[in-house]
Structure 1
Amino acid sequence: MPVFAFLYRPTRALDATELNDRTQRIRAWVLARREAGQVLSVSVFDKAGSVLSHEGDAGEPEVSPLAGCTLVSAADLPAALALARDFPGRQFGTDIEVRPVVTFLPPPAQAAQQA
């Protein structure tokens, strides 16, 4: 089944109550989708980091607006979009970019199994 990446971009700051509520709702969503075989992995990005430009490394470090990434299994792009529409973080101002993933080089464990 095809794999899609959900790339998360928060659009507003949350207070402590909203942050806790969002975290609980997302956790429940992820666990239910993992149980259904739809969520393959979840990564949350640390706020620290830099963006390296193709024009050089000069300048202040920039932080990407990306907050995390979830890899999901879905029949096709419309099915992946339907799954993304159900993501509870959207209610808290998170935009989701949905992208098909084509594996260029599998992780070592998968590569050994395929050999």
Structure 2
Amino acid sequence: MAVSVRLEPLLEKELELTAKRMGVTKSQFIVSALERALGRKNPYDLLLKVQAEVREPLPESGELISSTKAAIRSKLKTKRDANQADWLAYQEAKKQGKVWSGSDQETDAP
């Protein structure tokens, strides 16, 4: 069933930009907004449904944050260790009079 709605130009432009940003058509955006407004589409109910299907509770926000922090720290430590090893290799090559051009790529100076 088709329905016509008159919108102010500014509101229509905002609708167009938001729908484009979300990757949906204006019609899909409007239908979704109406469903939420009428209580037919509740994001919390959808979350509960997905949790029931997966049968895995979502981590508490504190757990999620701490696991994310741990992952980031681990990646940073690995990168720092690699950079430190490169720096030490560079210093050793410099002492020996060699040209160092990257990780494990040492050549004799010309």
- TM interval, shorter chain, is under 0.3
Q: Which structure shows the bigger proportion of residues in strand conformation?
A: 1
Q: Which has the higher contact order (CA 8 A, sep 6+)?
A: 1
Q: Which structure shows the bigger proportion of residues in helix conformation?
A: 2
Question: How does the TM-score come out when normalised to structure 2?
Answer: 0.22
